[in-house]
Amino acid sequence: MTHEPFDTLAATYALGALDGDERAQFERHLAGGCDVCEETLRESAEALAALARAEPRAILPPEVKDALLRRIAATTSPRLERPQPRPLVWAVATLAAMIAGAAFTGTFVASRYEGRLGQMAREAAALRARVQQDEAALREQIAVYQAAVDLLRDPTTRVVTLHGLGPSPEATGRVIWHPVSGGHVFVANLPAAPAGSAYELWTIGDGAPQPAGLFRVDASGRGTHRIAAVQGKPVKVFAVTIEPEAGVPAPTGPMVLASK
Amino acid sequence: MATAGADLIRQMAAGDRQAFALFYDRHAPVVFPLILRIVRERADASDVLQEVFWEAWRDAEGYDPSRGSPEAWMITRARTRAIDRVRATRRRSETFVAPLDEALAAAPADPAGDAAERAADRGTIRSALGRLPDAQREVIELAYYAGLTQTEIADRIKQPLGTVKTRIRLGLERLRDVVKTSP
């Protein structure tokens, strides 16, 4: 009887490439004891080891050896130094060591991390508060944009350009204005108002300027402000002046932005 | 040399950490380049290297000298684990990337005294694989370095399974002869 099919199976098995039924078949054959196949496997492993030795050298990762030695030191007691304990004694000793270890670890971990957990809880609470604030600010901003977009859809809405004047010639602004609903003003390049003062918006029809609210700008010089609807005569001009931060009924300070 | 290696493993089985350190110094320089060639990523190769030596420490008692040299024992383990890693990665990414040999860097001088002998050995073996007919070399490389099974190789190179098997057998026979006859 020829041994041939098993020679091929052994070579393929040694390469790790045997699959399917043939693998099961070969493993059964091997389990039954076959010196020829054992020899083929042994020689194949040595030949493949020679292939590995032929690889160009590579710099070893320096941390691996230390990591292994630490791992070994941490998980094993030197098997050399002690006589083999009998299984039951061993089991009881292991169990006792595990319980003691768990208790010790538990206490240690608890005391070590209680303080840290408290701090983390405080940090988490502060973070949550900040996120809620940011979220509220974003929602507000989205509401403004939404309102502006809604206004722009209406054909009777006008967009009025504001020009920088006097102390802030670089400033620009737009008013989105609906004769019935009111509107929004968007400004840019406007420096922060001096301490104790704020920007006040005015709507001017045929008569005296009407106060239309106070606003501030952010660090980048931008600001947004909702303008309430104005009863009576249509608005012809929008203007912004610097006023005391409580606001005034009629303009007193320098004009920084105005429509033509 | 071979006996000394087997002794080291016996000492490891007895819990000798110093024997393990020696064992690592002796075999890691051979095992790591193979792992790196198979898995290609240095970080992955480093993980596999640690896993392979950890398992060698744990399974030292199971080493049977009649089945092969300590080096062959380690190389077989390293190759198996490296292929496991590649298969796991391939399953995740569903892509196959060809080996990048340029990931290999030149190493510092061999600390052992047998550098010249090993270099000569490398030359012999590399040319041995090089002397195989391309068709045989191809199937051996696809199996050993890319971890493909015989069926996958047949699919890949569009040849009947029987042809793949024959090429594997002939190629390995020739490699075995080279190793047996090289001093």
Q: Please report, for the domain that includes residue B147, its CATH number.
A: 1.10.10.10
- Mean pLDDT along residues B16-41: 93
Are B9 and B47 found together in one domain? yes
Closest chain A residue by Cα to residue B51: A68
For A34, left (φ over 0), alpha (ψ -120 to 50), or beta? beta
Can you give the length of chain B in residues?
Answer: 183
Contact A135, A227 (CB under 8 A): no
The number of folded domains in chain B is 2
Nearest to B15 among A8, A56, A78 (CB): A78
Q: What residues of chain B lie within 8 A of the CB of A41, using their CB?
A: 67
Does the CA dihedral B81-B87-B91-B94 come out positive or negative?
Answer: positive
Assess if residue B5 is contained within a domain: yes
Given this model, what pLDDT does residue B49 score? Answer: 96
Are B77 and B124 found together in one domain? no
User: Which of the listed residues B91, B126, B159 is the one where a domain comes to its end?
Assistant: B91
Reported as half-sphere exposure (CB side, CA atoms, 13 A), residue A122 has a value of: 5
Assess if residue B77 is contained within a domain: yes
User: Which of the listed residues B58, B91, B124 is the one where a domain comes to its end?
Assistant: B91
Given this model, what pLDDT does residue A89 score? Answer: 67
pLDDT of residue B104 exceeding 50: no
Given this model, what pLDDT does residue B107 score? Answer: 36
Q: What residues of chain A lie within 8 A of the CB of B107, using their CB?
A: 56-60
User: Which of the listed residues B76, B91, B106 is the one where a domain comes to its end?
Assistant: B91
CB contact (8 A) between residue B175 and residue A47? yes
Percent of chain A that is helix, strand, coil (3-state, to 5): 45, 20, 35
Are B150 and B183 found together in one domain? yes
Nearest to B67 among A42, A52, A81 (CB): A42
At B123, the pLDDT band (50, 70, 90 cuts) reads low
Q: CA distances (Å), A162 to each of A69, A235, A255, in order? A: 74, 14, 11
10-residue mean pLDDT profile of chain A (260 residues): values are 79 90 90 89 90 86 92 69 58 76 70 70 81 82 83 88 87 90 90 90 89 89 88 87 90 90
For A199, left (φ over 0), alpha (ψ -120 to 50), or beta? beta
CB contact (8 A) between residue B67 and residue A38? yes
Are B87 and B129 found together in one domain? no
Give the three-class secondary structure for A198. Answer: strand
Backbone angles phi, psi at B14, to 5 degrees: -85, 0
pLDDT of residue B109 exceeding 80: no
State how far Cα B2 lies from the chain centre: 18
Q: What is the mean pLDDT of chain B?
A: 81
Given this model, what pLDDT does residue B118 score? Answer: 52
At B135, the pLDDT band (50, 70, 90 cuts) reads very high
Closest chain B residue by Cα to residue A39: B67
d(CA A39, CA A66): 37
Are B165 and B87 found together in one domain? no
User: Using CA atoms in the order A40, A44, A45, A46, what is the torsion angle rounded to 10 degrees?
Assistant: 110
Are B58 and B127 found together in one domain? no
Are B60 and B17 found together in one domain? yes
Are B78 and B138 found together in one domain? no
CB contact (8 A) between residue B32 and residue A58? yes
Burial class for B47, CB neighbours closer than 10 Å (0-12, 13-18, 19+): middle
CB contact (8 A) between residue A52 and residue B57? no
At B108, the pLDDT band (50, 70, 90 cuts) reads very low
Range of the domain at B82: 1-91
What ipTM was predicted for this assembly? Answer: 0.79
Assess if residue B25 is contained within a domain: yes
CA-nearest of B13, B8, B39, B44 to B26 is B8
Closest chain A residue by Cα to residue B137: A51
CA-nearest of B128, B141, B135 to B174 is B128
d(CA B53, CA B23): 9
Give the three-class secondary structure for A241. Answer: strand
CB contact (8 A) between residue A43 and residue B176? yes
Are B141 and B87 found together in one domain? no
CB contact (8 A) between residue A8 and residue B125? no
Assess if residue B160 is contained within a domain: yes
d(CA B172, CA B157): 19
Assess if residue B32 is contained within a domain: yes
Assess if residue B97 is contained within a domain: no
Continuous segment of H or E residues that includes residue B65? none
Assess if residue B138 is contained within a domain: yes
- Mean pLDDT along residues B78-104: 67
Can you give the length of chain A in residues?
Answer: 260
Given this model, what pLDDT does residue B50 score? Answer: 95
